[in-house]
Amino acid sequence: MDGLSATLEPASPETVVIRLAGILDLATREQMTAAVRAALPAFRPDALILDLDAVTLLDSAGLGALVGCWKLAAGAGCALRVRNPRPLAHAQLEMTGLAELFL
Give 2: exposed, middle or buried? Use CB within 10 Å, 0-12, 13-18, 19+.
Answer: exposed
Exposed / middle / buried, residue 69 (Cβ in 10 Å: 0-12, 13-18, 19+): buried
Among 55, 13, 14, 17, smallest CA distance to 65 is for: 55
Given a cut of 80, whether residue 40 has pLDDT beyond it is: yes
- The per-residue pLDDT for range 71-93, each reduced to its tens digit, is 999 999 999 999 999 999 999 99
Tell me the pLDDT band of 39, cut-offs 50, 70 and 90. Answer: very high
Q: What is the pLDDT of residue 91?
A: 97
Q: Could you give the residue ranges of the DSSP H alpha helices within 1-103?
A: 29-43, 60-75, 87-95, 99-102
Domain, as residue range, for 28 = 4-102
For 38-65, what is the mean pLDDT? 98
Could you tell me the CATH number of the domain that includes residue 92?
3.30.750.24
Residues in contact with 87: Cβ distance below 8 Å, sequence separation at least 6, in sequence order: none
Distance CA 38, CA 95 (A): 30
- Name the 3-class secondary structure at 84: coil
| Domain count for the chain | 1
pLDDT tens digits for range 5-25: 999 999 999 999 999 999 999
pLDDT in tens, 53-69: 999 999 999 999 999 99
